[in-house]
A and B are shown apart, each in its own frame.
Chain A
Amino acid sequence: MKIISKNWNKMDPLKIDSYVKNGGYEALRKVIREMKREDVIAEIKLSGLRGRGGAGFPTGEKWELAAKTKSPENFFICNLDESEPGVYKDRTIAKKNPHQIIEGLLIGAYAIGAKHAYIYINGHYQKPAEILEIALNQAREKEFVGGGIMGSPVDVEIQIFQGAGAYICGEETALIDTIEGKRGEPRLKPPYPPVSGLFGKPTAVNNAETLANVPYIIRRGAKVFSQIGSSVSPGTKLFVLEGAVKNRGIFEAPTGTTIQELVFNSIYGGGVEKGKDLWFVQIGGASGRLVSPAKMDQPLVYGAGDCPLGCGSVLVVDKSADPKDLLFAWADFFHRESCGKCVPCREGTFRLWEIAKRLKNNDLQKIDRENIEEILWTLSNTSFCPLGSFASVAWTDAIKMFEKEIFR
């Protein structure tokens, strides 16, 4: 079952006609000609679509809140910041089929009544940004974007905003702050962005993959979509398989697919690489949990289960990997990317990084072991935003699972 990657091989990303020929912008036409704003939101709510960026918040509810908040102006933002290590699904959508994101964004902007929309793209994604810019210009020429879309009185202007390399800017309030010309430091929630977001106006922020699902839902109806995959969070998901797995790359699978199936089924991972011995799997990038082979039969869904699906990366680690290197890589990443706003995260990630360095150099001191536990607890319980608790997830799991190997 494919929704997002269905036409990737047939499509020329630089030509809008190849998208239109495959049913592109039909959903936008339907929405503008036949549907009221409330109907669009109701349809998305009915479909059960949840955010594909990691948190899995119901998309329809977010739109409804942004549409209901009274304000002279509101905004829609497509989050294409994607900086979780090990994920490149949004980059791939932008490169293979940019119009799918643009169409989803236009429908979303129409639904909440936003005249201005932004695509916030990771500063390192130069090529995808250029492709999106070309796609936008073509869509503008065809009157899909800009003033008076398809001859209707609906205006939606889309602007591409390029970031400059900061993991935290994938967090929606930090992202909004960057557009406002402020340091990307998360805001206190509530108020949530759909109530008070960009420039204090109601703002819906959706991940690019989430938006890429929207045209399909409108075209085929919410009922069809809601029957795909798991009933908790229907639809498909782009999974990124990497590490010691035979077939690496992006695979689209229905939600609710088990980790076991993703790694071993020949249409996805095709098993562990020859001569390698499976050790564990990490789901969802550097902030993801570790799963031992015995627990790999759990389905990956949003909003249920004890292993969050996150952004959809599946890193297969074999026994030749050194846990100390992995621990250092995680600690180094979060220490570098902590924005510095709150003390637990700023100091906690720094101290954890120091300990990781000592661990790597086999120079661990006695007190470090106690400190690790204290730091991990503080990070996960007292940080201002999720980055702090993310920093502790993989470490906590690693210490639980292979304490002996680490502190040998």
Chain B
Amino acid sequence: MSLQKILLKHEPKPENLLKVLKEIQKENKYIGKKECEKVAEYFSLPLARVFSFASFFDEVETRKGGKKIIKVCSGGPCLMEDSREVVRQIELHLRIEAGNDAHPKYKLEFISCRGLCDQGPVVMVDDQVFERVRPEDVDDIIRNYL
């Protein structure tokens, strides 16, 4: 769906702003300057306001990606299920360091709780969620999903 079509589906009311941004992201993968400008015009808001809003949220990407992002929950319950060892395994396998953006293809980061504490440790590759990940599962995830 084109950007224009997504915009026209919703009334330009402030409570629709987040919904519109999320729908555009679904199509476009990220929300760049061009998209922000269009949205700002449609909602009659300053560009800065739309961009600052978009950049506020974890789930809205404002930069073009390309890297595979592996996310591991850093919450207490996941930690108690040995998420630390899972992180160590990913670091070893891919030769990257959590939080470091240097690798051209992969990035490993910690995320906040996803409310899946009973299924921990939780690992995500982009939008795919893996539950109850054991350190020995890391190899399989990397081989099949990266």
Contacts and interface: CB of A to CB of B under 8 A. Distances in A.
Interface string B77-121: 101100010000000000000000000000000101111111000
Given A87-B115, A164-B58, A242 B110 contact: no
A164 B77 CA distance: 22
A1 to B, nearest CB: 23
Given A180-B15, A286-B76, A326-B79, A242 B117 contact: yes
A153 interface: no
Contact of B74 (A91, A123, A242, A332): A332
Given A166-B57, A315-B77, A161 B15 contact: yes
A162 interface: yes
A57 interface: no
B140 interface: no
B75 A329 contact: yes
Contact of B59 (A165, A248, A282): A165
A242 B77 contact: yes
A390 interface: no
Interface residues of A, number: 49
B33 interface: no
Given A183-B52, A248-B118, A85 B59 contact: no
A389 to B, nearest CB: 18
A289 to B, nearest CB: 13
B17 to A, nearest CB: 4
Contact of A82 (B16, B53, B73, B115): B115
A317 B80 CA distance: 7
B120 to A, nearest CB: 8
A89 to B, nearest CB: 9
Interface of B: 14-19, 21-22, 43, 45, 49, 52-53, 56-60, 73-77, 79-80, 84, 110, 112-118
